[in-house]
Amino acid sequence: MKLRAPQTNASCEESVQGGALILKLSGRLDARSVPELWPSINHAFKKKQIESVTIHGAGISYCDGTGAALLVHVRKSARLLGIDAVFQDLNSDVADLMALFPVKTIARVPEEKGHQWGDLVERIGEAFYVGLVGLGEHVSFLGELVSGLFKTLIQPGRLRVRDLMVIIEAAGPRALPIVGMLGFLIGLIIAFQGAILMKQFGAEIYVADSAGLLMARELGPLITAIIVAGRTGSAFAAEIGTMKVNEEIDAFSTMGLDPVRFLVIPRVLAASVMTPLLSVFAILFGLAGGAVVMLSMGYPLVTYVNRVIEALSPADYLGGLFKALVFGFLVAASGCLCGLRTGDGASAVGTSATRAVVSSIMLIVLADGIFAVLFFYLGI
Amino acid sequence: MSERESIITVNNMTARYGERLVLDSISFGVNRGEIFAILGGSGCGKSTLLKHMIGLYKPAGGDIRIGDASIVNAEGTDRDELIRTFGVMYQSGALFGSMTLLENICLPLEEFTDLGKEARELAACMKLSLVGLAEFAHHMPSEISGGMKKRAAIARAMALDPEILFLDEPSAGLDPVTADELDDLIIQLSRSLGITFVIVTHELPSIYKVADRVIMLDAQTKKIIAEGNPEELKKTSDNEWVRDFFNRKGSAGAKGVEDG
């Protein structure tokens, strides 16, 4: 037996005798040849006053599913003209194949429902409803989380320390290189840009003030939180989402164990502790970046350091770290919530991870704005 | 078989996913100590029924009682008490991936008993040896095969010595020999420990081998179309599709779409 039938090109000869359309099909009807034949068959059926359709199939050497689709198409086109197509000399293989597709069962490809105005209203309503439900879920999740955190504070024994340590390691020390590098580069860049500006006034020394303040109050916590959102928040969402898909979350609840306590609390604690620590590094490396710029402009290191110490109050520094703590909490909480709300299937896990990062970054920026106003009125 | 005490009662329960009706007002009971199977083609709501019975979903109507208590509206400590009367083996095993098998089984013991570490680990090891996995106690779930995962999941479901075990498609995705071993295990546990089993399945050999009684769900009517002993149903059911299923003539899986 040959593995492949020889490559004979299929052809379709059409002839019209009186009102009779005769199609002679021959060769190999498969996915390669059918696309060429299809238009010519459509063309043949456009002729006027067709009264009968006959297909001579003696020359068909091979016919697969695509070929069968072509033959069914011929039959359907004839049917549209109110004629039953007659197949002649089909070899037994092709006839058997055609017998699988009786006229009645091959109706047409089911049409997709079009969108209508009523649908639009319904969809807006549904989206709004889903949004409300989502908001409700957020609020109840936050409540569960806070009560869980309180219970953990009262009874630290409830915390699974080993889980916590594993998460802390992944969320903290392993993020050091990227946090350090980004902190350094951003410190360098803002110091450099500041220096160009300040040089016009001969006030380059104040670059130390601006770099120090910016890094400690704003950029240190902010870039750290964004890195944590991208690295850790998405990982939380994906981990918990995968557990959801694997029914592990269901297993927790039918064992009477609270998934928030086992999965969310350790992650939120780890991120809330590690984000301020990481942002300490971001600030330090950022200041080092500033130092490089100052040194290159000929200022001695001691001048820069003294200037930074003078410019930065402990409140600036601690305020920044407090912000980082809140950012870490928000990132972990939204990562875990997105994970717990994962739907079915592998793509749902990806969606959750994406949603976790997007909502984390939005929350970070929003919280940062609130802090800016708050710190202004508090005079910090 | 004589009339026995009913341990689970499902009463006029209706299940829905949003608008879509999945189960329409079905009622049945599971007797204490029997192996009860829920059958039906794909998409007829078997797994949905199971998830309602273990309290993961709330029915749209009707009641489900385990012993004397309803699981539908149970809250707080009542629910916790109720949940501890049964164990669940999920389709994929659902072992916690970050813990070894031993830790997986120790977890419920740690949470709900005052046993010391040594006692917990011994009890967990005994459960593992019951399912023939004692030597894998310190393996992670990712390091063992699919059949082993299912057996380990049974061991974990048994951690607190529940009266009822719910198994969701125990033989799905297993080779016939391993599936057969799992069936032997179910029979052995049922006989020696008197555990009531509720099994969702569509594996015919396994049904004949283990099930004392079955119900069969229908995807079209959303109701129970057969209830009784599988051997008897095979001969005496007045529903043609039911007889076909037990005689494996028709294609049992082609009756509906797969449910989520």
Residue B186 has pLDDT above 70, yes or no: yes
Q: Which residue, among B57, B77, B90, would best test binding to A if mutated, counting the most A CBs under 10 Å from its CB?
A: B90
Measured in angstroms, the CA of B241 and the nearest CA of chain A are apart by: 23
Q: Which of B91, B95, B111 comes nearest A257 by C-beta?
A: B111
Contacts 24+ apart (CB under 8 A), A311-315: A311/A208, A311/A209, A311/A212, A311/A213, A312/A212, A312/A213, A312/A216, A315/A380
Burial class of residue A179, CB neighbours in 10 A (0-12, 13-18, 19+): buried
- Distance separating alpha carbons of residues A26 and A192, to the nearest angstrom: 77
Instruction: State the count of interchain CB pairs (< 8 A) between A and B.
Output: 48
pLDDT in tens, B112-148: 888 888 888 888 888 888 888 888 888 899 999 888 8
**Chain A residues closer than 8 Å to B108 by CB:** 255-257
Residues of chain A with CATH 3.30.750.24: 11-99
Nearest one of A323, A320, A343 to A331, comparing CA atoms: A323
- Distance separating alpha carbons of residues B51 and A144, to the nearest angstrom: 24
Measured in angstroms, the CA of B94 and the nearest CA of chain A are apart by: 5
Length of chain A: 380
Query: Chain B residues within 8 A (CB-CB) of chain A?
Result: 51, 54-56, 79-80, 83-84, 86-88, 90-92, 94-98, 107-108, 111-112, 260
In this predicted complex, what is the ipTM? 0.80
User: Among the residues of chain B, which ranges form H helices?
Assistant: 46-53, 76-83, 101-112, 117-130, 146-157, 176-193, 204-210, 230-236, 240-247
Measured in angstroms, the CA of B243 and the nearest CA of chain A are apart by: 27
A251–B92 CB contact, under 8 Å: no
Q: Which two three-digit tokens encode residue A152?
A: 């953990």
> Is A184:A290 a contact under the CB 8 Å cutoff?
no
- Distance separating alpha carbons of residues A159 and A32, to the nearest angstrom: 64
- Distance separating alpha carbons of residues B152 and B105, to the nearest angstrom: 8
Q: Which CATH class is domain A11-99?
A: alpha beta
Residues in a beta bridge with B48: none
- Distance separating alpha carbons of residues A337 and A144, to the nearest angstrom: 11
In this prediction, residue B207 carries a pLDDT of 86
In this prediction, residue B257 carries a pLDDT of 36
Residues of chain A under the 50 pLDDT cut: 1-5
**Chain A residues closer than 8 Å to B95 by CB:** 248
In this prediction, residue B78 carries a pLDDT of 84
Q: Which of A163, A250, A344 comes nearest B94 by C-beta?
A: A250
pLDDT in tens, B152-163: 998 898 888 888
Q: Which residue, among B98, B102, B149, B168, would best test binding to A if mutated, counting the most A CBs under 10 Å from its CB?
A: B98
Q: Taking phi first (over 0 means left), then psi (-120 to 50 degrees means alpha), and beta for anything else, what does residue B66 get?
A: beta
Q: In this structure, what DSSP letter does residue A260 have?
A: I
In this prediction, residue A104 carries a pLDDT of 63
Length of chain B: 260
- Distance separating alpha carbons of residues A294 and A73, to the nearest angstrom: 79
B260–A243 CB contact, under 8 Å: no
Residue with the bigger pLDDT between B5 and A247: it is: A247
- Distance separating alpha carbons of residues B86 and B88, to the nearest angstrom: 7
User: What are the residues whose beta carbons fall under 8 Å from the beta carbon of A76, sequence distance 6 or more?
Assistant: A106
Measured in angstroms, the CA of B251 and the nearest CA of chain A are apart by: 18
In this prediction, residue A105 carries a pLDDT of 59
Q: Which of B51, B84, B94 comes nearest A256 by C-beta?
A: B84
- Distance separating alpha carbons of residues A67 and A48, to the nearest angstrom: 26
pLDDT in tens, B53-62: 988 888 888 8
User: Is some CB atom of chain B closer than 8 A to the CB atom of A147?
Assistant: no
- Distance separating alpha carbons of residues A329 and A268, to the nearest angstrom: 6
Measured in angstroms, the CA of A272 and the nearest CA of chain B are apart by: 22
Q: Which two three-digit tokens encode residue A173?
A: 């020390």
* Average pLDDT estimate for B24-53: 88
Type of residue at A181: M
- Distance separating alpha carbons of residues A160 and A177, to the nearest angstrom: 28
Residue B253 has pLDDT above 70, yes or no: no
B83–A344 CB contact, under 8 Å: no
A243–B97 CB contact, under 8 Å: yes
State CA A219 to chain mean position distance.
26
User: Is some CB atom of chain B closer than 8 A to the CB atom of A256?
Assistant: yes
Q: Which residue, among A159, A245, A247, A258, would best test binding to B if mutated, counting the most B CBs under 10 Å from its CB?
A: A247
Q: Which residue of A has its CA nearest to B95?
A: A248
Handedness of CA B48, B52, B56, B58 (dihedral sign): positive
Q: Which residue, among B88, B117, B161, B200, would best test binding to A if mutated, counting the most A CBs under 10 Å from its CB?
A: B88
A255–B107 CB contact, under 8 Å: yes
> Is B169:B91 a contact under the CB 8 Å cutoff?
yes
- Distance separating alpha carbons of residues A234 and A232, to the nearest angstrom: 5
Q: Which of B56, B94, B112 comes nearest A248 by C-beta?
A: B94
Measured in angstroms, the CA of A266 and the nearest CA of chain B are apart by: 14
State how beta strands B164-168 and B196-200 pair.
parallel
